[in-house]
């Protein structure tokens, strides 16, 4: 039998796909038609029946939709980790989103001084704001912005200590998310790491005795993703600063997360701030833009004007600098900190972290019936107390009380079923990311807000278990 005659011609199929062509373009849809016809031909060879026309068209549309879908997709983060590095960390404030869109859409005065008509400096867009928010507007404080905090640490070390030594306590030689390890970063920055003290205890005299003619700076790294407890001693920042300054050396603190707001006043566990670090005598602080600050991915280097000037002159700065959309979002985010009263409403990171457990529980009760209906009879869905974490290394041992929808299979040894449930949620039009723990699938609803709720419920009709 000549199977070729059984299959329709590409052109004839395309005539019935005008809507898909409108969405995806003729070239992409033609490719999908060819691929589906080839698959049908292959099927025929193996004795499979010819797909009927409706099925063939549906398969082509599915293929085109899949090919036309963005690779970077919005998801529901119901993992219980608010600042999830793999899910893009901070959600931006509407003000930051609007500023990014404006900067993307039109030419903007990125490095242009509108007053003089001369050349400007992109760091000036946020440098004054940061001095205002962190150091009471001190004219001796400036800032420079790079791609992320890892870049901030690398650049700072290279600019201030290349070919020399940086003194760090052994208790602070951190590894962050795989590829960022302080000893490696030091090597890449061409700085010799001078380790002092022990894993659990470091004393002031360790710093004093470490200083030699090759010392370029003293450094403290916030142990953001672990806690050393028990018989421990760390040197107070004020004392390290004093030791550094007596020796004429700068004191650098890598804060990691660095929120600008008083977490304790928001009912959250206290987190060190750049304000405190500078007040304690640090000459430079570095922190991330997309952790607790709640802004775009960026690394902020803030501190003494003369040191910042030196850092900015380093050629690595040019390689690590950020673009206009990042600066637009960062500036807009920082501006929100000028109004602490409304910060928790406007800044999603803070809003999500301070969300009352009672509110999350009510939400969970409300969506439970829809989730139970979508799951079917193989498992029961209940609302249970759970604990969210802040994520991205911030406050590693603290937990925030929250509420989860928990899917518990009726059958024993239902590991495979749980994986099916997890995959089914991940396959929804807007993928839902939960977690499996204690033989149950959990959806921590802390990060499901009002706009998301309707969409979350509406798409449950597509859940295939
Ligand atoms: C997160 C973190 C970094 C890395 O910051 P990125 O913005 O992810 O590059 C560096 N140091 C500390 C202490 C951190 O917590």
The full DSSP string for 323-391 is -HHHHHHHHHHHHHTT-HHHHHHH-HHHHHHT--HHHHHHHHHHHHHHHHHHH-SSEEEEEEEEEEB-B
Q: Which two tokens stand for residue 332?
A: 């807009």
Residue 140 sits at φ, ψ, to 5 deg, of -90, 0
Do 306 and 423 share a structural domain?
no
Ligand 1 mean position to 155 CA, how many Å?
A: 13
Ligand 1 mean position to 256 CA, how many Å?
A: 5
Do 361 and 328 share a structural domain?
no
pLDDT, position 5: 64
pLDDT bucket at 393, cuts 50 / 70 / 90: low
Ligand 1, atom nearest to 222 Cα: 13
Do 139 and 59 share a structural domain?
no
- Mutation test of ligand 1: which of 147, 148, 256 has the most ligand atoms closer than 8 Å to its C-beta? 256
Q: Which of 302, 317, 344 is the last residue of a domain?
A: 344
Cβ–Cβ under 8 Å, residues 161 and 189: yes
Residue 194 sits at φ, ψ, to 5 deg, of -105, 100
Ligand 1 mean position to 414 CA, how many Å?
A: 38
For the segment 246-266, the average pLDDT, to the nearest whole number, is 93
For the segment 302-327, the average pLDDT, to the nearest whole number, is 98
pLDDT, position 355: 97
Q: Is the dihedral of CA 269, 271, 275, 281 positive or negative?
A: positive
For ligand 1, atom 13, name the residue with the nearest CA.
256
* Residue 453's CATH number: 3.90.1150.180
> What residues pair up with 388 in beta bridges, in sequence order?
400
Do 50 and 115 share a structural domain?
no
Ligand 1, residues at Cβ distance < 6 Å: 148-150, 153, 174, 176, 180, 221-222, 224, 254, 256-257, 288, 299, 392-393
> Considering the chain, what is the average pLDDT of its residues?
95
For the segment 246-252, the average pLDDT, to the nearest whole number, is 98
Do 428 and 387 share a structural domain?
yes
Do 332 and 363 share a structural domain?
no
Ligand 1, atom nearest to 221 Cα: 13
Residues 9-34 have pLDDT tens digits of 999 999 999 999 999 999 999 999 99
pLDDT above 50: residue 1? no
CA distance 9 to 439: 51
pLDDT above 90: residue 202? yes
CA distance 386 to 69: 34
Residue 303 sits at φ, ψ, to 5 deg, of 160, -155
- In this structure, the strands spanning 299-304 and 141-146 are antiparallel
pLDDT, position 228: 83
Do 286 and 244 share a structural domain?
yes
For ligand 1, atom 14, name the residue with the nearest CA.
256
Ligand 1 mean position to 28 CA, how many Å?
A: 41
CA distance 347 to 291: 12
Structural domains in the chain (count): 3
Q: Is the dihedral of CA 249, 250, 254, 259 positive or negative?
A: positive
Give percent of the chain above pLDDT 70.
98
pLDDT, position 178: 67
Residues 396-405 have pLDDT tens digits of 667 899 999 9
Q: Which two tokens stand for residue 108?
A: 């903007």
CA distance 464 to 374: 8
For the segment 97-107, the average pLDDT, to the nearest whole number, is 98
Ligand 1, atom nearest to 85 Cα: 8
Do 249 and 187 share a structural domain?
yes
Task: List all residues 6 or more positions away from 331 whose beta carbon is below 8 Å from its beta carbon.
Answer: 99, 125, 126, 129
Ligand 1, atom nearest to 394 Cα: 15
Residues 159-174 have pLDDT tens digits of 999 999 999 999 999 8
pLDDT, position 4: 54
> What residues pair up with 401 in beta bridges, in sequence order?
387
Q: Determine the structural domain holding residue 421 and report its residue range.
A: 76-85+352-462
Do 366 and 310 share a structural domain?
no
Do 438 and 389 share a structural domain?
yes
Q: Which of 344, 367, 395 is the last residue of a domain?
A: 344
| pTM (2 d.p.) | 0.94
- Secondary structure tally for the chain: helices H, strands E: 20, 15
Do 34 and 144 share a structural domain?
no
Residues 262-290 have pLDDT tens digits of 888 888 888 899 999 999 999 999 999 99
pLDDT, position 396: 63
- Mutation test of ligand 1: which of 90, 176, 183 has the most ligand atoms closer than 8 Å to its C-beta? 176
Do 173 and 42 share a structural domain?
no
Ligand 1 mean position to 18 CA, how many Å?
A: 49
CA distance 378 to 384: 19
Residues 362-379 have pLDDT tens digits of 999 999 999 999 999 999
């Amino acid at each position: 039998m000549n199977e070729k005659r059984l299959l329709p011609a590409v052109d004839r199929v395309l005539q019935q796909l005008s809507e898909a062509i409108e969405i995806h373009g003729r070239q992409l849809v033609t490719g999908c038609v060819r691929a589906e016809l080839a698959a049908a031909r292959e099927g025929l060879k193996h004795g499979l029946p010819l797909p009927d026309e409706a099925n063939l068209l549906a398969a082509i549309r599915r293929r085109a939709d899949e090919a036309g879908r963005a690779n970077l997709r919005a998801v529901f983060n119901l993992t219980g980790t608010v600042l999830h590095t793999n899910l893009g960390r901070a959600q931006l404030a509407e003000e930051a989103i609007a500023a990014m869109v404006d900067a993307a859409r039109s030419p903007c005065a990125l490095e242009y001084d509108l007053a003089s008509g001369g050349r400007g400096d992109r760091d000036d867009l946020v440098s004054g704001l940061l001095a205002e928010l962190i150091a009471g507007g001190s004219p001796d404080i400036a800032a420079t912005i790079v791609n992320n905090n890892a870049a901030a640490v690398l650049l700072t070390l290279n600019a201030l200590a290349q070919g020399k030594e940086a003194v760090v306590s052994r208790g602070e030689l951190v590894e962050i998310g795989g590829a960022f390890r302080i000893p490696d970063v030091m090597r890449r920055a061409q700085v010799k790491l001078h380790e002092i003290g022990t894993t659990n205890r470091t004393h002031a005299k360790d710093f004093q005795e470490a200083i030699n003619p090759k010392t370029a700076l003293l450094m403290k790294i916030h142990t953001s993703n672990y806690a050393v407890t028990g018989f421990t001693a760390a040197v107070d920042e004020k004392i390290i600063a004093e030791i550094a300054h007596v020796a004429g050396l700068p004191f650098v603190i890598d804060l990691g997360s660095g929120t600008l707001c008083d977490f304790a006043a928001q009912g959250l566990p206290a987190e060190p701030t750049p304000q405190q670090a500078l007040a304690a005598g640090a000459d430079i602080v570095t922190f991330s833009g997309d952790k607790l600050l709640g802004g775009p991915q960026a690394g902020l280097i803030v501190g003494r004007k003369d040191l910042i000037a030196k850092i900015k002159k380093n050629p690595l700065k040019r390689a690590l600098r950020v673009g206009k959309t990042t600066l637009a979002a960062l500036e807009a985010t920082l501006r929100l900190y000028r109004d602490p009263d409304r910060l928790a409403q406007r800044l999603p990171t803070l809003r999500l972290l301070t969300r009352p457990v009672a509110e999350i529980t009510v939400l969970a009760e409300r969506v439970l019936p829809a989730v139970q209906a979508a799951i079917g009879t193989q498992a029961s869905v209940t609302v249970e107390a759970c604990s969210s974490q802040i994520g991205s290394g911030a406050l590693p041992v603290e937990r925030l009380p929250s509420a989860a929808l928990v899917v518990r299979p009726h059958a024993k040894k239902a590991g495979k079923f749980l994986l099916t449930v997890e995959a089914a949620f991940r396959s929804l039009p807007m993928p839902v990311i939960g977690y499996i723990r204690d033989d149950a699938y959990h959806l921590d609803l802390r990060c499901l807000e009002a706009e998301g709720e309707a969409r979350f419920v509406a798409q449950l009709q597509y859940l295939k278990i």
